[in-house]
Chain A
């Protein structure tokens, strides 16, 4: 019985094999070239970045040492033996919790202010609602500027203009939030169903009425969800605003690190991490209930 497998004539098979091998070789060459470029870039970056594995491994002990010291009190005892001494800024002096509250409030006020700004700018940046190309391009460039300049740079400049305190921190967060949320909001607006919009326009509704009755109901839940996500991010950012004097618990943390108050550093960090995690959990809950509502409706 003849073999069930159909065999190509040798000449034809040889041509196919050769072309296959050529393709494999080309791909391999490309991969080698990519790897070579990557390695060259790594070397260049390592040179510019003053990477020194020797220093790293020589001082790696410092790192573990440092982490270890974070969990020891001044007396040398482990922090877990005297938690109330560890968190003295909470238990003995009402100092850290108010600062933590300030951090949260900076994040909250900054987020709401930025979200309101993003709300208005996003309609101007949305392709399907704004006819004027120039207005749209201007709105987009403005939002891009707001989110590309890091918030800490804004904070640095604002600290000089508004003086030390929470105000520059709030404004820096608000501007960055406007840029980041404005882009997301504009994308949401561009993805709406246009039929209600046409309906409203056809019956003579004004631009504002069109936005209120045709656009807003479609986008609101998405907007809220994005704003909650941004709030999470802003709580993290507000924690470090104090590094440049823009309010919150960051200043206290910076001082503790610089002055080698080891147990204070770990205590403040734990407070911050705990707050961030609680906020994450709460906003996640809120977002899920929001999405659930939408599905139910």
Chain B
């Protein structure tokens, strides 16, 4: 085989340049690698085009105009300038904000806890390895799905009708919407447990209940706790907004200040939320590592 142009390379030329000079030869030698897979390419382009067409169609039907976007961004810029420096105004406002933040945390905490408590029995009912009855399994799962499909904010609206405005409605709202999610997650955690623990208990003459208590629960509990902590984190975020519909917490203040164009206060409230969420995240990450790490090590 004749040595190609590579030999006449100028000093300092890169491997890439050398390869590019011999491109025709390389292509001839590895036809499969250089061949264009037309069906695949058409598929990719087709999917991209479809996504884009629906996107443009969406923009058109929703009546989105560039001028609206630009003028809005301009106003948003003004708000951002007005937000600095963030401030709470009077000390009376500050204590109100602090109290609402405490309420927000209380809503997230109790809501998550109650949801987990009520979901526990349903988690067992929906688990195939505890209740082998396919019908019960199916019914419980679908019921949990339905509860889960309704947003926290909608549950808040419903509970306000029952217990009135205030944080209690918020607690109940978070409890109901997370009840569905917990039930599903718990049942999956239970189904994922190792069956040998249960078999061991049964082989020594334990009953069904004892098998669940000593064979199943020790395996599933750390998973449950870690999920509960994770939901507590995400619920501190949800609890900041349910005040918008009147179910307590910092959302009510936020709504009010935005409506009245009090941008420094809005910025202050958002900062408060960010700090609170960061602290909760930190604590719950620590706890989670303590729970899970303690088991595996």
Contact of B110 among A46, A56, A161, A236 (CB under 8 A): A46
Q: Write the A186-229 contact mask toward B (1 if CB under 8 angstroms, else 0).
A: 00000000000000001111000000000000000000000000
Q: Do B154 and A253 touch (CB < 8 A)?
A: yes
Residues of B within 8 Å of A257, CB to CB, are 154, 157-158, 161
Instruction: Tell me which residues from 135 to 166 in chain A have a Cβ below 8 Å from any Cβ of chain B.
Output: 145, 148-150, 152-153, 156-158, 160-163, 165-166
Does A129 belong to the interface (CB within 8 Å)?
A: no
Q: Write the A107-123 contact mask toward B (1 if CB under 8 angstroms, else 0).
A: 01100100000000000
Closest Cβ neighbor of A258 among chain B residues: B157
Instruction: Tell me which residues from 69 to 94 in chain B have a Cβ below 8 Å from any Cβ of chain A.
Output: 69, 72-73, 75-76, 79
Q: Write the A36-62 contact mask toward B (1 if CB under 8 angstroms, else 0).
A: 000001101110111110011001101
Contact of B151 among A52, A59, A240 (CB under 8 A): A240
Query: Roughly how many angstroms separate A204 CA and B51 CA in the complex, as a whole number?
Result: 34
Does B222 belong to the interface (CB within 8 Å)?
A: no
Closest Cβ neighbor of A275 among chain B residues: B149
Residues of B within 8 Å of A153, CB to CB, are 240-241, 254, 270, 273
Query: Roughly how many angstroms separate A213 CA and B76 CA in the complex, as a whole number?
Result: 38
Given contacts A44-B106, A45-B109, A244-B244, contact A160 B261 (CB under 8 A): yes
Closest Cβ neighbor of B164 among chain A residues: A55
Q: Do B151 and A236 touch (CB < 8 A)?
A: yes
Q: Do A272 and B149 touch (CB < 8 A)?
A: yes
Indicate the size class of the contact surface on chain B.
35 or more
Contact of A149 among B158, B261, B270 (CB under 8 A): B270
Q: Do B241 and A150 touch (CB < 8 A)?
A: yes
Q: Smallest CB–CB gap between A191 and chain B, Å?
A: 20
Residues of B within 8 Å of A166, CB to CB, are 62-64
Does A63 belong to the interface (CB within 8 Å)?
A: yes
Closest Cβ neighbor of A253 among chain B residues: B154
Residues of B within 8 Å of A59, CB to CB, are 162-163
Q: Do A66 and B149 touch (CB < 8 A)?
A: no
Query: Roughly how many angstroms separate A148 CA and B241 CA in the complex, as a whole number?
Result: 12
Q: Smallest CB–CB gap between B131 and chain A, Å?
A: 23
Residues of B within 8 Å of A161, CB to CB, are 72-73, 75-76, 79
Does A124 belong to the interface (CB within 8 Å)?
A: no
Q: Do A170 and B64 touch (CB < 8 A)?
A: yes
Does A243 belong to the interface (CB within 8 Å)?
A: yes
Does A97 belong to the interface (CB within 8 Å)?
A: no
Q: Do B72 and A52 touch (CB < 8 A)?
A: no
Query: Roughly how many angstroms separate A44 CA and B69 CA in the complex, as a whole number?
Result: 46
Q: Which residues of B contact A (CB under 8 A)?
A: 14-17, 19, 51, 54-55, 58-59, 61-64, 68-69, 72-73, 75-76, 79, 99, 102-103, 105-107, 109-110, 113, 145-146, 149-151, 153-154, 157-159, 161-164, 166-168, 170-172, 237-238, 240-241, 244-245, 248, 254-255, 258, 261, 266, 270, 273-274, 277-278
Inter-chain pairs besides A272-B149, A276-B149, 7 sampled, C-beta below 8 Å: A46-B106, A59-B163, A108-B58, A148-B237, A161-B75, A163-B72, A203-B19
The 3 residue pairs across chains A and B that have the minimum distance between CB atoms:
A204-B16, A162-B72, A45-B106
